Structure 1
Amino acid sequence: MDITIYHHPHCSNSRQTLAAIRAAGHAPRIVDYLIAPPSREELERMLAAAGMRPRAAMRTKESLYTELGLDGDAVSDAVLIDAMLAHPVLINRPFVLTPKGVRLCRPPETVREIL
């Protein structure tokens, strides 16, 4: 199965999700999204496939989120996506893509839905 995980090795949820994928017998493509973030098109496709709006995929507890003024209700989806692309640390993790769907795997057990 073709699986991609947008991974951050210092994140326990990301590590647990990767372990669950491997325990299910898969060898995923691992993308350290802080080093190689998705393109705008990839991010928009992932959000659409997961049925998520950009704000739902953001790390709202990051100080940068507030510093950039992203916490207001009037901030558009396009501005949120721009911020995630400019500052990948704002993208919540891990996103997992499989032929069965795309999920933000928080909690890690969510990955089972698409394996």
Structure 2
Amino acid sequence: MAVTIYHNPDCGTSRNTLAMIRQSGVEPEIVEYLQTPPDRATVLRLVADAGLSLRQALRQKDTPFDALGLGDLARGDNELLDAVMRFPILLNRPFVVTPLGTRLCRPSELVLDILENPDIGPFTKEDGEVVIDGEGRRVGDN
């Protein structure tokens, strides 16, 4: 199964997502998007395939979002996309692409919905939050 993750190794959510992909038995293509930013068409495709608007895919925390006035709803997609091209950190992460779909994996366990093998066994995030318990049940699922 071909899997691509748009990854920031400094982000715990991104690291947890990558760990779940690997625990599923897949070694993904890793695109460190701050070092190798996706082009405009790729950003638009990721966002659309994930069922998001460009505005929904923007990251506000620890970015120039406020300084650039991107919270102004009068700013259209072209302006938002121009900002992402200048400052790739504005694109939220991690986006994951698999044959089963594309997701912005926030929280990281959303990746399980698009993995061929979501039964990855017990998994605990870096911060100690249990995602899958010792019996293979997703915590929080009914």
TM-score bin (small chain): over 0.9
CA distance in 1 between partners of 2:40 and 2:79 (Å): 12
Paired-residue identity, %: 50
Task: Name the structure where helix makes up a greater proportion of residues.
Answer: 1
Look up the match of 1:9. Answer: 9
Partner of 2:37: 37
State the alpha-carbon separation in 2 of the partners of residues 37 and 65 from structure 1: 17
Normalised TM-score (structure 1): 0.97
Structure 2 residue runs without a partner (length 5+): 116-142
Cα offsets for 1:37-92 (capped at 9, x unmatched): 11111111111101111111111223510111111010101111111111001111
The structure showing larger relative contact order (alpha-carbon pairs under 8 Å, at least 6 residues apart) is: 1
Q: For this pair of structures, how many residues does the alignment match? A: 115
1:102 aligns with 2:102: yes
| Displacement over 3 Å in runs of 4+ | none
Q: Which entry has the higher C-alpha Rg, 1 or 2?
A: 2
Q: Which residue of 1 is the match for residue 23 of structure 2?
A: 23
Counterpart residue number, 2:85: 85
